[in-house]
Amino acid sequence: MQHILSVVGQAFRKTILILSLISLLGLSNSFIFASQPAYAAKLTPEEKIDRAHNYSGAAGIREESYEEEVEEAKSPAKMEKAYEEDLKEYRESQPDKGGLVEGAKELVEKVTGK
């Protein structure tokens, strides 16, 4: 009889322990989900982000320039011309930086005497 009561007591204690652990987990989960909206930021009207699609004129201009770039990319001659223009602008903006190729050309000219 005493053995049966000890087995029932152990089962009862294990059941209470399991139920208390489950309730603590549920309680902790409710705190996690309750604090989530606090992390969301609300933008004031002054802080709203201006998108390109909000302005039809700007979107049209961007689309046209995109189409021009696509047309240039289709033609190797136009790509070469655009590259040369970019290189010329770069050299004008930074004349002190000739680059590796320019330095090599200068060395070849010095060695060959031209």
pLDDT tens-digit map of 28-87: 877 776 555 555 566 565 555 555 455 555 555 667 777 877 877 787 787 788 888 888
Distance, in Å, from the CA atom of 60 to the CA atom of 38, rounded to the nearest integer, reads 39
Distance, in Å, from the CA atom of 89 to the CA atom of 82, rounded to the nearest integer, reads 11
Query: Does the pLDDT value for residue 107 go beyond 90?
Result: no
In the three-class reduction of DSSP (H, G, I as helix; E, B as strand; rest coil), residue 48 is classed as: coil
Q: Where are the alpha helices (DSSP H) in 35-93?
A: 56-74, 76-93
Specify the pTM: 0.29
C-alpha distances in Å from residue 53, one per residue of 45, 66, 99, 100: 18, 15, 41, 43
- Residue that has been written with the tokens 């961007």 in this structure: 62
Query: Does the pLDDT value for residue 21 go beyond 90?
Result: yes
In the three-class reduction of DSSP (H, G, I as helix; E, B as strand; rest coil), residue 31 is classed as: helix
Most confident of 2-6, 73-77, 91-95: 2-6
